[in-house]
Amino acid sequence: MSAFSRFTPLIQSLPSTIPFVGPEAIERQRGRAIAARIGANESGFGPAESVLSAMREAASGTWKYADPENHDLKQALAAHLGTNPANLAIGEGIDGLLGQIVRMVIEPGMPVVTSLGAYPTFNYHVVGHGGRLVTVPYAGDREDLDGLLAAVKQENAPLVYFANPDNPMGSWWSAERIVEFARGLPETTLFILDEAYCETAPAEALPPIDALIDMPNVVRTRTFSKAYGLAGSRVGYVVTTPGTAQAFDKIRNHFGMNRIGVAAAIAALADEVYLKEVTAKIAASRQRIAAIATQNGLAPLVSATNFVAVDCGRDAVYARAIVDTLMSDHGIFIRMPGVAPLNRCIRISTGPETEMALLEAAMPAVLKKLA
């Protein structure tokens, strides 16, 4: 008997992979510590002190499971968003929620529409559940909404995904255009609107909560990983209709949330002063990254996220060389998109001034070395 015959044919057919190689793995591979961690779209500014205090207080109770109904967090989110707790589902970050959504909708062979070069973890879940990816190229470094809608209708796809603002390009569509897209979908198509970067986006990019709340085929995914500085706590949520939200209870890990992370999220929602301060810091850091890129003859793209995509003006080989040399020679960790033509760019996360200064000092030397 084959050693692998105990696995399903689907699992046997899939490669073992990690959608994102972590900075810790890069440190192990390179034998060098990271000096500037500005590649994973985390918040180097960290969480609020009030959040850290809440986490310390919750730590003594970590021997207890978190509330499987997530009652207090749902109440806090509902008050924050101006909606009802029944419109919410909680999960282990957006990544965990994406896996649940795919599992709820997709059977082997079903088509799933997304953008070519968009968030790789979504693709990972689709393939892992046997779905068939149908990808639409970006248009002018933005998600091609017309192309996505046409692909949905052509394929009769039960699921479509895109992020607004977008990762990896930082671009965005207006709220009006997003609502138009959602209303144009067949009722049989579930639309995942990934709003991981909603706190750093301009107001005109975000449909009001009530603009889509009546649509059972729309799920808006959001997270505490970005502006709130809680990437390691793994707290995300879905905003949708009560019926769609309730469907998560059929498959989710009811003890999947960690008690300290939940306490952190509730405290983060309460500290609106810090959120305003940190989003201002993120905006200033975006400008700093853009200035560094421009000083070195590179072209920063306008961004509504906590990172800046920078057009390096050549091909993917050159962009990859910049990424690798920044790390090998200077310990600066950044990333790049993985698919042409997006991979002419590098992607730099916002962060504290100490890390921006390291980037500013290193970039001219790297480009000179690669000239």
Residue 30: band (very low, low, confident or very high) from pLDDT cuts 50, 70, 90: confident
Please check the confidence at residue 32 and state whether its pLDDT lies above 80: yes
Distant-in-sequence, close-in-space partners of 281: CB < 8 Å, separation ≥ 6: 45, 350
Q: Where are the beta strands (DSSP E) in 8-131?
A: 36-37, 88-91, 111-115
* pLDDT (tens digit per residue) in 140-198: 999 999 999 999 999 999 999 999 999 999 999 999 999 999 999 999 999 999 999 99
Distant-in-sequence, close-in-space partners of 277: CB < 8 Å, separation ≥ 6: none
* pLDDT (tens digit per residue) in 76-131: 999 999 999 999 999 999 999 999 999 999 999 999 999 999 999 999 999 999 99
Please check the confidence at residue 359 and state whether its pLDDT lies above 60: yes
| Count of Cβ atoms closer than 10 Å to residue 353 Cβ | 12
* pLDDT (tens digit per residue) in 255-308: 999 999 999 999 999 999 999 999 999 999 999 999 999 999 999 999 999 999
Residue 1: band (very low, low, confident or very high) from pLDDT cuts 50, 70, 90: very low
pLDDT of 3: 55
Cα torsion for 359, 363, 365, 368, to the nearest 10°?
170
Nearest partner of 168 among 303, 262, 78, 265, judged by Cα: 303
Please check the confidence at residue 4 and state whether its pLDDT lies above 70: no
Query: Domains in the chain, please, with CATH?
Result: 19-46+273-370 (3.90.1150.10), 49-270 (3.40.640.10)
Q: Please give the average per-residue pLDDT across 2-24, as a whole number.
A: 83
Q: Please give the average per-residue pLDDT across 34-54, as a whole number.
A: 97
Sheet of 88-91: strand order equals 88-91, 236-239, 218-223, 190-194, 159-163, 111-115, 132-136
Beta bridge partners of 194: 163, 221
Q: 237: alpha, beta or left, given left = phi > 0 and alpha = psi -120 to 50? A: beta
The helix or strand, by DSSP H or E, that contains position 192, with its residue range, turns out to be: strand 190-194
Mean pLDDT, the chain, integer: 96
Residue 137 per-residue DSSP state: -
Q: How far apart are CA 293 and CA 305, in angstroms?
A: 17
Token pair in block for residue 201 = 């986006």
Q: How far apart are CA 321 and CA 339, in angstroms?
A: 16
pLDDT of 2: 54
Query: How would you classify the pairing of strands 307-311 and 299-300?
Result: antiparallel
Q: Please give the average per-residue pLDDT across 346-365, as a whole number.
A: 98
pLDDT of 6: 85
